[in-house]
Structure 1
């Protein structure tokens, strides 16, 4: 490539951290002002001359190539290809980018190519990706295979649909899908081991029973022989007069057998079966089952309410520790169903709240995996919990315990999330947030994050981004922004910031948060956290600010309010913590994206010195080194003066060291060296 082409490439290729910030991807739009001769792709601008050059280059390449062009970038994120995939139209995209673009379109039909607007019915990953073992690459390839299976079409698609429907209807997993992965191998190994142990247990029980019977007969025979011998002696001593044989009572026989069993140490049952009733978890559940057999609102007395409450408190304490294994025992013996059944019989009142709160706390501890969440769903748990929450909306303790159940049940289960949304849990959350209260309900923010996190990997496309837009339209984002105004002294600052970050999923929501004073509040909190040395608050506020900085208008707002100076000051105050520094670098790299003016102001604020000092001090902090390379790249790519300043400070050596020592930042380091104008950036 000529030096001119290399320069143009360096000037146009930047880190698209916006793609990490927003899970939505802007579609390709055309500007109405054709006199400017510009074509706007997402939020970047490409001139007509550059478009013609790109068209000529595209014509020279073969559409059916197996690898993406070396001089091209992803049309969605404008960055280097990550897990490149080619559509049937011939255009290349990052695997994550095109899948996320499809998620925000109509997922019931194939995605349209952002370049040529043709339907993409098949995505073809780069051939070399099949040999890579990284977990991230494997996940993207699995999603690409699912996408291809959805839209294969034709007779093959009909046959696959019919077979998949037949397989889904059958309960037995007679055809292991996806091959024998390591998880599947462990599943079948566990089943085989359980069967073997069961067979061994049955065989051993039979052997022990036979030994016990043989010992009993031996003892009985010896006793009878002794009696016969004693009888013979008596007959002889009495001159031949016979006496009747003395019978042995059943009690005496049992005592004799028990004595022999104890002396010989014979095991008469499978270990654990005789002591199962002595387990405190089982004893607690048995007592609760007795109360479940009657109506709580009817014949129960105040003493009964106290006992039920104490039983749930005991169950909560027993199951809180994961190492004890008590939670698994309780779930196996129907604790989730039993707790939901008792909750369904409770009518909300001041008298019954003392039972509901410990009941909710125990339920939140029991729900910890996909199996327990499915049990919770099957016994209409979401309906029961929401009804009890609506009936006691003034009790802070009950609300905190109830939202803890919502957070636990919604984690990792897309169906449960949908059930809660159908029950209008979002409207109830807004009602609780709008109520003036001095008590902080921490579990409320955890529930928001759980409902808006796409963590169910069983589904191809999650609906949580639509839920986030619904939350924002209702006004929950505004309510959370107002909660942040309490400042660094508020107990809910960290939780509210995390929940607000989960809602800010697109440009419109980020702008609305800024319009309601969100950026001003965050900058004040960042400054206060640095003064008070609160690292947790500093990292959380910076993480939220990086999400809001994805909007171009918000970038300018942050710069105008001297946000860059405050961020550099924060990094200097926490110069010993690479986690805070990497959050600051992430924000600066987003602000400088495609903005030479912002990049110049970042250098003036001290971003270059921050990168040099941090990279020297923390050479093994991989994520911080990667964020530093991305920040340097965005600062230098469109500003020649910044490149000169950075190179004069010795940034090249630091980037090459980071590239050699940290595998995760090799790509970012290579891009940074290229955008600094160095020819040997691949060395």
Structure 2
């Protein structure tokens, strides 16, 4: 008969643990680490972690052990997500744990035991899903993420992704674990690419039968491995990963474009946003941007932008992806010919209170105008000067918006002297000076440059 592991007694037990830690620090002059180590033995997370280790060794039932660990972790949440009540195997896990809970679970070997459970739970979907969701929860702490690669976590997750008997829900959860492990951990990013996880996910993205949640989760991993967000190592391989995945051997840009074309943005906006975010990260150089453009990617992005103009999240994602692509001179020309300037003006007006949309639109237009004065003329004809005034007046406290407005003003005025009178007549000078004063760290340099290129002598005032 399988052993039934005891459920945690949430608040009293956690309060008792906290009190024990405080007592150890205050009465016995322990450091916080020593106090936690001393108090950890009887904590329900420690008991449940030991129970899971025993169950993985054949001493007890995995189902009961997983339920006990879920219950003990749920009792130590910092913030609860909707739908976290109860402890069924398929229930969503809490958003995050207290610091003590992460430490206790880590020291108790919970992550290693969960990875071992992954290996033992083939064809047991509900239990495997709970294991993967608990893993994702434990990876909310940097030290746990650092340890993930050391205990072969990437390899275990890769096996789950490759297993043909695992359905889309399990593979989605496995991809979400991989994305969580890669957050701010360069080693995990490198391992996910070097071990072939990223390529496996590209294969899943290429499969027309993959459902939207799996597509979004796969995109999340690809975006993570091409994002340099770990400041600890001296360098990042994010750019190398982008070039590798976009290369002819793996064809990430072609794969992503195929998904973009077959995925209806109006029905799956969240997945489309993840996809566009991944395009933005992988389009890391001129060659990749050109490939995306040559395959019709820019036109496809504009179609999504126009078809989902009322959705702020999709609009922001489209503008951000196009902004990155517009670093390429070829893309600048194509965007201008396709009417992107007018699109940017329209969606900014449609979402007049959205500073993120305004910032992304200004950034896109700035990249289009850079080194292309003919696009500055297009901007003037499409109403961009009025848009600049409106955006700067509407978002005076948003430094990113003000900075992009200063930059775009400068770019329009620098090589197009005929546009300067119109820009000044609309009242941009006092707005530029206000931006410099309100946001000196972000806008002093670009604001002064804009005033100078507008022909004003006192641009440093």
Aligned residue pairs total 411
Residues 676 and 540 of structure 1, relative CA distance in 2, 3 Å threshold: same
User: Hey, what does 1:451 align to over in structure 2?
Assistant: 225
User: Hey, what does 1:222 align to over in structure 2?
Assistant: none
Instruction: Give a deviation string over 1:41-72, Cα, whole Å, max 9, x none.
Output: xxxxxxxxxxxxxxxxxxxxxxxxxxxxxxxx
Partner of 2:213, secondary structure, is coil
Choose the corresponding residue for 1:465, options 236, 239, 248.
239
- Say whether the 8 Å CA contact 1:396–1:439 is kept in structure 2: no
Alpha-carbon separation, structure 2, partners of 1:467 and 1:413: 14
Q: Aligned ranges for residues 167-566 of structure 1 at < 5 Å?
A: 200-201=27-28, 277=42, 279-294=43-58, 304=61, 306-308=63-65, 310-311=67-68, 313-314=70-71, 317-318=74-75, 320-322=94-96, 324-325=98-99, 326-344=101-119, 346=120, 348=122, 350=123, 352-392=124-164, 394-437=166-209, 438-441=211-214, 442-473=216-247, 474-485=250-261, 486-489=263-266, 490=268, 491-530=270-309, 533-566=310-343
- Say whether the 8 Å CA contact 1:564–1:602 is kept in structure 2: yes
Alpha-carbon separation, structure 1, partners of 2:244 and 2:68: 39
The TM-score, its normalising length taken from structure 2, stands at: 0.82
Residues 199 and 561 of structure 1, relative CA distance in 2, 3 Å threshold: closer
Structure with greater Cα Rg: 1
Give the RMSD, CA atoms, in angstroms: 2.7
User: Hey, what does 1:659 align to over in structure 2?
Assistant: 436
User: Hey, what does 2:373 align to over in structure 1?
Assistant: 596
- Say whether the 8 Å CA contact 2:52–2:66 is kept in structure 1: no
Choose the corresponding residue for 1:607, options 377, 384, 387.
384
Q: Which has the higher helix share?
A: 2
Structure 2, unpaired ranges of 5+ = 1-20, 78-93
* CA displacement at 1:403 relative to structure 2: 1.0
Alpha-carbon separation, structure 2, partners of 1:564 and 1:590: 11
Q: Aligned ranges for residues 60-99 of structure 1 at < 5 Å?
A: none
Structure 1 runs (4+) deviating above 4 angstroms are 196-200, 270-276
Alpha-carbon separation, structure 1, partners of 2:301 and 2:313: 14
Residues 645 and 373 of structure 1, relative CA distance in 2, 3 Å threshold: same
Partner of 1:440, secondary structure, is helix
- Say whether the 8 Å CA contact 1:407–1:447 is kept in structure 2: yes
Partner of 1:457, secondary structure, is coil
- Say whether the 8 Å CA contact 1:309–1:354 is kept in structure 2: no
Residues 581 and 202 of structure 1, relative CA distance in 2, 3 Å threshold: closer
Structure 1, unpaired ranges of 5+ = 1-193, 204-269
Residues 271 and 380 of structure 1, relative CA distance in 2, 3 Å threshold: closer
Alpha-carbon separation, structure 1, partners of 2:446 and 2:142: 37
* CA displacement at 1:327 relative to structure 2: 2.9
- Say whether the 8 Å CA contact 1:633–1:672 is kept in structure 2: yes
Instruction: Give a deviation string over 1:295-340, Cα, whole Å, max 9, x none.
Output: 9xxxx8xxx4543553454366445353644333212222112222
User: Hey, what does 1:568 align to over in structure 2?
Assistant: 345
